[in-house]
Amino acid sequence: MERTRTPVVSGWFTGAEAGDGFRLLGTRCSACASVFFPREDAYCRNPHCPGGGELAEVPLSPRGRVWSYTDGRYRPPAPYVSDPDAPWEPYTLVAVELEAERMVVLGQAAPGVTPAGLAVGMEVEVVAGVLDEGAGTVTTTWWFRPVEGTR
């Protein structure tokens, strides 16, 4: 049976299929060049913005450097989706500094990436990921993983 692939939030990243060109999507204010992620479509949040700009969608840098990282050794509460009957598998969270955007974005690390395989300052890239799978549906998300497949 073909399963529907649905992004966990629509409009935050490009096509949910694995492969080249996966990018996080933000918006940029045409009046002051501020970038927003998660995307801000209603108004510019820069208090110094001259105003009158448009918020246009922009892909964020595909690579960045680790700002910090941690993991979740205990099952988080809802609305995080996990099977209560399955043993809990810790996941890793990575906060990534994007140089061009001068911002930090948080994401889950790709499966198999543990804190032991990360270091502050390490280069990572964003890739298509799967958040959870139900009957007939796959919820897609973004993952970070070290560049050059070090782990």
Partner 1 sequence: MSGDVAVLGVGMHPWGKWGRSFVEYGRAAARAALADAGLEWTDVQSVVGADTVRGGYPGYVAGATFARALGWQGARVTSVYAACASGAQAIGAARAQILAGLADVVLVVGADAAPKGFFAPAGGERPDDPDWLRFRILGATNPAYFGLYARRRMALHGDTAEDFALVKVKNSAAGAHNPYARYRKAVSAGEVAASAVVADPLRLLDICATSDGGAALVLCGMDFARARGVADPVRIRAVSTVTPTYPRTVLDLPDIATDSAVAVEPAAGSFRASIARAAYEEAGLGPEDLSLAEVYDLSTALELEWYEDIGLCGEGEGAKLLREGATALGGRVPVNASGGLASFGEAVPAQAIAQVCELTWQLRGTAGARQVPGARAGITANQGLFGHGSAVVAVR
From candidates 93, 130, 138, 147, binder to partner 1 by CB under 8 A: 93
User: CB 46 → partner 1: shortest distance, Å?
Assistant: 6
Measured distance CA(112)–CA(142) in Å, rounded? 15
What SS3 class is residue 82? coil
SS3 content of the chain, % helix, strand, coil (to 5): 5, 45, 55
Residue pair 108/141 in contact by the 8 Å Cβ criterion = yes
Could you say which residues in the range 9-38 bind Zn ion, by CB under 5 A?
A: 29, 31-32, 34
Number of helices (H), then strands (E), belonging to the chain: the values are 0, 9
Tokens standing for residue 33: 């060049």
Q: Out of 19, 84, 87, 121, which residue is the one contacting partner 1 (CB under 8 A)?
A: 121
Q: For residue 46, state whether it binds Zn ion (rule: CB under 5 A).
A: yes
Question: For residues 1 and 78, which CB has a smaller minimum distance to partner 1 in the complex?
Answer: 78
- Residues interacting with partner 1, by CB under 8 A? 8-9, 29, 32-38, 45-49, 67-74, 76-82, 91, 93, 95, 100-108, 115, 119-121, 131, 141
- Residues interacting with Zn ion, by CB under 5 A? 29, 31-32, 34, 44, 46, 49, 53
